[in-house]
Amino acid sequence: MNKTLPVLLFCAGVFAAAATPSTLAQVRVEIAGVASNQIPIAVAAFADEGVAPAQVSAVIKADLERSGVFKVIDAGTVLSESSAIDYGLWKSRGADALVVGSVRRGGDGRLEVRYKLLDTIKSSELSTMANTVQPKSTRLAAHRIADDIYEKLTGTRGAFATRIAYVTMHNSRDYRLEVADADGEGMVVAAYGKEPIISPAWSPDGTRVAYVSFEDRKPVVYVQNLVTGARKVVSNEKGSNSAPAWSPDGTRLAVTLSKDGHSQVYGVNADGSDIRRLSNSSGIDTEPQFSADGQSIYFTSDRSGGPQIYKMGANGGAATRVTFKGSYNISPRLSSDGKTLAWISQRDGGFSLYAMDLASGQELRLAEGATEPSFSPNGKYLMYATKGGGRTGLAVVSVDGRVKQRLTTQAGNIREPNWGPFMK
């Protein structure tokens, strides 16, 4: 496998994204549902935002709207962080908060993006921030501002500056592992080939992706450094190697190996050394996922007949059953706050996305026709793959089921989404 080619594509993709601002999306986002109580917020055009290759205030507005949590009001005017503010005016227009800012070109070619979040009811400043970025990272600066707004007004860290990975297939012969911003922009091909790629998994620091490739006529687990393009085989034991999941500290991976005659869960160092068996059943144990505190591993097991979700210690040992309703429960995913388990359950003939509050055991059906879920790093949203009309696509739903988004693409088939972590 040519290592330099993916690196070149990575670089080319970044430059392309910078040159053509908002419309080069491979993935378009449509909003279909919103939160029950939305915060009305007015967003002004930023002073001199035309010097940047992307319109900062437009990116912020789109982020806030997509979250479903805000009712975004276009201020219809330019306001910078040093403009005089008529709080009464904005209050009368129904806005509880106001976003203002500016973009300035620095001497070294970098851009300084400044912003302020204002409380119109208290007539006070809620937050301010300055970001200095290369022009190609204009959208990132805007996403960071949207994250700050989201956090100040909801109390939860925003996930607008995160990235997603997913696999596309074209003509049954071209498979691509693609990385894009959480809003679908800035897509870059990270890996591509003639054989399938499945189960991408971001490392906790967001610089590497583990995945399963079939390029050797069997499933093998790789870890690829996204920055350098270097790939390492983490597991190519006899039989099948799949389902990589990172420990929260990024030093180990849990994987499914069939090397002992049937699919079981094992642990391995990120460099492929020190393979240790963790699960112990005579049937199928697969799809391991670490809990956020790294102490437990949830996994799918059919030891009771059909697939159900179980939990064991991160070093293996006795497993306890977690799902009891329905006869087919797979794909456990854990939220970063440790509170929620999401998974796929086959009920009434179809596959649905469910969420369970781990403290109470309460279940909620979030979406139908869903597989392969992935939590946003703030635990508030789930991205998943949909199957409909012979094509697959991606969708997002909030953990309370209210906010819904569909990600449509011109690509043939898009599946296996994995939401990346918070990064600096």
Partner 1 sequence: MRQFKSLAFIVSSAALLSACSAPVKLTDTPVVERSTERTAPPAADSRDIRPVETGSVDPLNDPKGELAKRSVYFDYDSYVVRDDGKPIVEKHSAFLNKNKARKVLIQGNTDERGGTEYNLALGQKRAEAVRRAMGTMGVSESQMEAVSLGEEKPKAIGANEAAWAENRRADIVY
Judged by the rule CB under 8 A, the positions of this chain that interact with partner 1 are 172, 196, 198-199, 214, 217-219, 238-240, 242-243, 256, 258, 261-263, 284, 286-287, 300, 307, 328, 330-331, 344, 346, 351, 371-372, 390, 415-416
Q: Which lies closer to partner 1 via its Cβ, residue 192 or residue 328?
A: 328
Q: Which amino acid is at 89?
A: L
Q: Taking the complex as a whole, how short is the minimal distance between the CB of residue 295 and partner 1, in angstroms?
A: 23
Give whichever of 231 and 415 is closer to partner 1, judged by the CB atom.
Answer: 415
In whole angstroms, the minimum distance from the beta carbon of 258 to partner 1 comes to: 5
Q: How far is the CB of 27 from partner 1 (least distance, A)?
A: 20
**Least spacing, CB of residue 385 vs partner 1, in Å:** 9
Nearest residue to 195 (alpha-carbon basis) of 221, 169, 156, 232: 169
Pick 49 or 287: Cβ nearer partner 1: 287
* Nearest C-alpha neighbor of 413 from the set 215, 197, 123, 156: 197
Nearer to partner 1 among residue 243 and residue 403 (C-beta) = 243
Which of 209, 218, 217 lies closest to 176, judged by CA? 209
Comparing CB distances to partner 1, the nearer of 186 and 332 is 332
The least CB distance from residue 338 to partner 1, in Å, is 23
Does the CA dihedral 381-384-386-391 come out positive or negative?
positive
Q: Which is nearer to partner 1, 263 or 378 (CB)?
A: 263
Q: CB-wise, 269 or 346, nearer to partner 1?
A: 346
What is the radius of gyration, based on Cα positions, of the chain? 22
Please report how close the Cβ of residue 331 comes to partner 1 at its closest, in angstroms: 5
- Per-residue burial over 11-47, b if 16 or more Cβ lie within 10 Å, else e, is eebeeebbeebeeebbbebeeeebbeeebebbbbbbb
CB of 123 to partner 1, least distance (A): 53
According to DSSP, the β-strands at 350-357 and 340-347 are antiparallel
How far is CA 279 from each of CA 247, 263, 317, 318, 372, rounded to the nearest angstrom?
A: 16, 10, 7, 8, 22
Q: Tell me the C-alpha distance between 256 and 262, whole Å.
A: 10
Least CB distance from residue 152 to partner 1, whole Å?
39
Residue placing its CB nearer to partner 1 in the complex, 80 or 301:
301
Other CB atoms within 10 Å distance of the CB of residue 310: 24
Q: How far is the CB of 199 from partner 1 (least distance, A)?
A: 6
Rounded Cα–Cα distance for residues 312 and 297 (Å): 5
Q: Extract the tokens encoding 417.
A: 């989404």
Bridge partners, 197 (sequence order): 213
Sign of CA dihedral 17, 20, 24, 25: positive
What number of other Cβ atoms are within 10 A of residue 251's Cβ?
12
Q: Report the nearest approach of partner 1 to the CB of residue 177 (Å).
A: 14
Shorter beta-carbon distance to partner 1: residue 160 or 299? 299
The phi and psi torsions of 202 (rounded to 5 degrees) equal -70, 140
**CB-based contact 269:251 (threshold 8 Å):** yes
Is the Cβ of residue 73 or residue 243 nearer to partner 1 in the bound state? Answer: 243
Other CB atoms within a 10 A radius of the CB of residue 329 amount to: 23
